[in-house]
A and B are shown apart, each in its own frame.
Chain A
Amino acid sequence: MGVTGSPTNINQGTRTKGGIGESTLRPDGILKVTGEFAYSSDMWHEDMLWGHTLRSTVAHAEIVSIDVSEALATSGVYAVLTYDDLPAEMKNYGLEIQDTPVLAHGRVRHHGEPVALVAADHPETARRAAAKIRIDYRELPVVTDEASATAPGAPLIHEGRDDHHIGHVPHPNIVHRQPIVRGDAAAAEARADVIVKGDYYFGMQDQAFLGPESGLAVPAEDGGVDLYVATQWLHSDLRQIAPVLGLPEDKVRMTLSGVGGAFGGREDLSMQIHACLLALRTGKPVKIVYNRFESFFGHVHRHPARLHYEHGATRDGKLTHMKCRIVLDGGAYASASPAVVGNASSLAVGPYVIEDVDIEAIALYTNNPPCGAMRGFGAVQACFAYEAQMDKLAARLDMDPVEFRQLNAMEQGTLLPTGQQVDSPAPVAELLRRVKAMPMPPERQWESAGEHADVRALPGGLSNTTHGEGVVRGVGYAVGLKNVGFSEGFDDYSTARVRMEVIGGEPVATVHTAMAEVGQGGVTVHAQIARTELGVSQVTIHPADTQVGSAGSTSASRQTYVTGGAVKNSCEAVREQVLEMGRRKLGTHHPAWATAELLLEGGKVVTDGGEVLADIADVLEDEAVDIELEWRHRPTEAFDLRTGQGNGHVQYSFAAHRAVVEVDTELGLVKVIELACAQDVGKALNPLSVVGQIQGGTIQGMGIAVMEEIIVDPVTAKVRNPSFTDYLLPTILDTPTIPVDVLELADDHAPYGLRGIGEAPTLSSTPAVLAAIRNATGLELDRTPVRPEHLTGV
């Protein structure tokens, strides 16, 4: 095919049993550390062209004219495309609402919106040619927040909406609204001895995956296209790409290429359609790679949110009621906003028992950058606010903040505000107890070096801002509630094809799914499942592509649960067929073939009593067993649009954090010393990966607590810091020690009893850090990230 850098089979052998519960190592780990792993940006094709995207320089404008003539005339340029060149009737895409133009049509709605495409024989030629495209913009007033979105006469971001939310939203600049009402919050208020209110702001976080958006589209002889791309969900991409190209889905063949992180930012399309359009137009392979600057405009971000919360409690510390209103800024296009609203509202109460609640969540259409999926998905913003409220309540009641939370903690059997009962372990109080019981990090660690202050242990680090002056320690706690899997009645299935055959005398299993490995470790876990279920040591993981059924998204902490479940299910079917084959071929050799419970272990067919009946190789001989099956978890229901009632979620996930910080109170600089975490994971399929996920989620949560924020100019709606120079991510010097306590309380509804784990630690990390900073400074701190000027009051 001529594509280099596209994934190949991953063959994984193991000296141990390598089944579930073992910390087998990632097959791609060493390659990634040594730089040999081929990411999507490393792919190459001999005749390929380079695509470049011209993006709007303003947030909201009418496009008066576009003149591409000079760009087209540039030597080395093969194609310049605008809206007028789109080949099919369908010219938009979108995860749920198809409101996003492939290329802007007469109007741009946010800074950085794609307007035109160029293909050239060199990336620099493409970039320079794009700069020669003349666009005449007539700027329009910008909508930037709830007030400007719903003001009388506000410009409508999308006129003539006909999506399925328009019927129940109060204004066309509101994407979706979800109220959740249970009990009688107004009546319960009368029982409250204390009432605490707060207004909170959660800043816009970026996924900041290190591998920028990239892929390679190769036109095929049948008029179709082969697309190699880094994404989170191949089949969701396919469903959006094919109609815009005017091709049936079977003519768009997708293969997952090396993904350098995702965190939700690859749920939406970026360069996929653009590369295919250019490839089909030029008849040549086209590669597109965003640089970091463009990447900040190339994917959606975490919704910034304004949250108003009101809680009441009795004098003895029991929560009486909660009212809240959550306003999420979805930006110019819907992306995942409706589902984020569903999560924010249905998880707004947090892991607490409150019978009387009145919740409302909305997402706005504005001219700000589009926002969508990011690790924690609506639950993160709510957790930041309700955990601040818990601390305020505890302080008002003069109670210990952990004891107050434990007193109100949900448990198995609790009814959520949606009316859904939590029907698996919910060890909220226990997780808090565990983080609180962990030993505290020693005080004044910067003095450990003797007479010298070790500034690396101090706020400011090597910037040498303090030798201990002004430094105050603070401790804070938080716990969160996250759903696992896609919710609200979505058919959240996965597909796995498993093949078993004898190669070189040894039974080998091949697992083929469309699961996007984005770093979460699915390729490791699938091999472990196959070993456990099929008793083989050699497992081949086939590259993920659309030649097999959908695996659903690598999102919502769901892949080990759902695609892991699908792999388990298909392995079980393969095992049954192998045993059936054995009974047919060898059944007369031993009576146990007919009478005993049979397993596949260590390459052999064994009875449950451990007696070996045959080698798997002798059963299979030169035959192969090859089965592809879809697998589904328990169905969920939509939330009622007025009351929010409904069994909307599949499973819940819980983590608790204790943050220890040191704050230079004069300069407002923070050093997070330790972030201890306790999390229930149901069953740790790969304990090392579990700890890695928890530590990664913890750091990502810390990032939005103290430094990460996309800053959008409130007047122009333009992004002010689209670079890693000014969008700061935690470095290793900012990373605290993260002791992790893993609890394994099985969820009987889930494969192996496992619980999705990737997101929960991102929820509680942020409010724990904020609580610790409040504890150190005595300040209220109602927004995140917290900046030095907020801590110094200047």
Chain B
Amino acid sequence: MDFLRPASWEEALAAKAEHPTAVPIAGGTDVMVEINFDHRRPEYLLDLNRIGELTEWEVGQENVRLGASVPYSQIMEHLRAELPGLALASHTVASPQIRNRGGVGGNLGTASPAGDAHPALLAAGAEVEAESVRGTRMIPIDAFYTGVKRNALEPDELIRAVHIKKADGPQQYSKVGTRNAMVIAVCAFGLALHPETRTVRTGIGSAAPTPVRAKEAEEFLNAALEEGGFWDSRTIITPSVAQQFATLAAGACNPIDDVRGTASYRRHAVGIMARRTLGWAWESYRGNGRSTEGAA
């Protein structure tokens, strides 16, 4: 196994172009597990740790440009206001040690349906900044996940950053695991209210071959909120609407039975989380919400 250590982003792109099978490694919280378990024995490891800019972020007018290696603990600490859904998701990632190492770029690169960041990215709306020696392209998050542990990157491309829409309304994130911390998701649900566009977006994790949005549920809810004038009146969402949203969210799942849970439980739990996260987010939107308190 060759260990490539580019000193700059340009060198990294060149190395990736030269060795398209090279596996990028930053925090190592996914890649090292795979290597230790001998699930994967890449010819080349491409170490991105010398490239400082990957751990930086910029808060712009519309978006946060989040470097691929910004660790989850930094998101929790510094980007709670701009990226509340992703900050909540970051809380649920593994242990403090891993949150200090792992970042969203790794989640995207691995593209596991169980990656904790995905539902929050889907709900907020995001684009992946992918780059190669051939140039840069922005991949909409909805088009990024192409299969189980597969993504839309070309072999010579690296993830430089993720451009995530700054929150224009309350966001929520919820994840079911069979332990109260440090657990891989049985399933997860992200939800973001976008009052500017009067839309609600969602993301489902670990309940389909890829992270997915509950599009039918979103469309139903967007229409119901519009028709009922809820965005303006800020009244409590009719329970039957919330329930129908939950049912449609559960219906968006295409889960499997595995050692972590059954398919039917995953569907059921996604429905519950959809209803609850909508309730919490809407309460915040109404101005009297309870936020979620937890240890950083």
- Using a CB–CB distance below 8 Å, which chain A residues touch chain B? 127, 291, 293, 449, 451-456, 459-467, 469-470, 666-669, 671, 706-707, 711, 720-721, 723, 725-726, 728, 730-734, 787-789, 792, 794
Contact = CB atoms under 8 A, between A and B. Distances in A.
Given A465-B276, A792-B265, A453 B179 contact: no
Contacts of B176: 460, 463, 465, 667, 669, 788
Interface stretch (B9-17, B138-146, B181-189): B181-189
B291 interface: yes
B159 interface: no
Contacts of B282: none
9 contacts: A452-B290, A462-B295, A463-B177, A464-B91, A467-B280, A707-B178, A728-B179, A787-B261, A794-B264
Contact of B180 (A453, A470, A734): A734
B123 to A, nearest CB: 14
Interface string B8-52: 000000000000000000000000010011100000000000000
B183 A456 contact: no
B36 A711 contact: no
A463 B92 contact: yes
A18 B55 CA distance: 53
Contact of A456 (B177, B259, B272, B295): B295
A451 B179 contact: no
B268 A455 contact: no
A157 B282 CA distance: 61
A446 to B, nearest CB: 9
A466 B273 CA distance: 8
Contacts of B38: 127
B58 interface: no
Nearest to A726: B259
A728 B183 contact: yes
Given A127-B38, A462-B92, A789-B265, 11 more contacts: A453-B290, A453-B292, A463-B175, A464-B172, A465-B175, A465-B176, A469-B276, A469-B279, A725-B184, A733-B182, A792-B268
Nearest to A461: B180
Given A291-B36, A733-B181, A788-B176, A466 B259 contact: no
A789 B173 CA distance: 21
Contacts of B279: 469
Given A293-B37, A464-B91, A454 B180 contact: no
Given A464-B173, A469-B276, A728-B179, A453 B293 contact: yes
Interface residues of B, number: 41
A464 B175 contact: yes
Contacts of B179: 707, 728, 730-731, 734
Given A452-B291, A469-B276, A792-B268, A787 B178 contact: yes
B294 A454 contact: yes
Q: Which of B175, B184, B267 has the most CB of A within 10 A?
A: B175
Given A451-B290, A469-B276, A667-B269, A726 B180 contact: no
A461 B265 CA distance: 19
A464 B174 contact: yes
B261 A789 contact: yes
A733 B294 CA distance: 12
Contacts of B175: 460, 463-465
Contact of A452 (B186, B262, B293): B293
B108 interface: no
A455 B294 CA distance: 6
Contacts of B173: 464
A741 to B, nearest CB: 26
Contacts of A668: 265
A666 B272 contact: yes
Nearest to B258: A720
Contacts of B292: 452-453, 455, 464, 467
Contacts of B182: 731, 733
Nearest to A723: B37
Contacts of A470: 272
Q: Which of A449, A455, A666, A789 has the most CB of B within 10 A?
A: A789
Interface string B176-207: 11111111101000000000000000000000
Contacts of A453: 290, 292-293
B260 interface: yes
B242 interface: no
Contacts of B261: 787-789
B121 interface: no
A403 B91 CA distance: 44
A792 B259 CA distance: 17
B253 interface: no
B80 to A, nearest CB: 13
Nearest to A792: B268
B88 interface: yes
A731 B268 CA distance: 26
Contacts of A671: 180
Nearest to B38: A127
Nearest to A732: B181
Given A449-B293, A455-B294, A467-B280, A794 B178 contact: no
A453 B290 CA distance: 7
A601 B292 CA distance: 60
Interface string B87-125: 010011000000000000000000000000000000000
A726 B92 contact: no
A463 B91 CA distance: 7
Contacts of B92: 462-464
Nearest to A730: B179
Contacts of A667: 176, 269, 272-273
Given A666-B272, A671-B180, A456 B262 contact: no
A451 to B, nearest CB: 6
Contact of A454 (B36, B181, B264, B293): B293
Interface in B244-279: 259-262, 264-265, 267-269, 272-273, 276, 279
Nearest to A127: B38
Contacts of A449: 293
Contacts of A291: 36
A550 to B, nearest CB: 38
Nearest to A724: B182
A789 B263 CA distance: 10
B180 A464 contact: no
Contacts of B272: 470, 666-667
A721 B259 contact: yes
Contacts of A711: 259
B268 A794 contact: yes
B136 to A, nearest CB: 35
A734 B180 CA distance: 6
Q: Report, nearest first, the 8 A-B pairs whose CB atoms are least far apart.
A: A461-B180, A452-B293, A733-B181, A789-B265, A463-B175, A794-B268, A733-B180, A794-B264
Q: Which of A456, A459, A462, A726 has the most CB of B within 10 A?
A: A462
Nearest to A791: B265
Q: Which of B36, B37, B178, B259 has the most CB of A within 10 A?
A: B178
B262 A789 contact: yes
A225 B265 CA distance: 55
B236 to A, nearest CB: 15
A667 B172 CA distance: 17
Contacts of A454: 293-294
Nearest to B33: A725
Contact of B294 (A462, A466, A706, A726): A462
A454 B175 CA distance: 16
Nearest to A451: B290
A723 B291 CA distance: 35
B265 A464 contact: no
Nearest to B116: A463
Nearest to B268: A794
A276 to B, nearest CB: 26
A789 B264 contact: yes
B92 to A, nearest CB: 5
A529 to B, nearest CB: 40
A482 B269 CA distance: 40
Interface in B145-183: 172-183
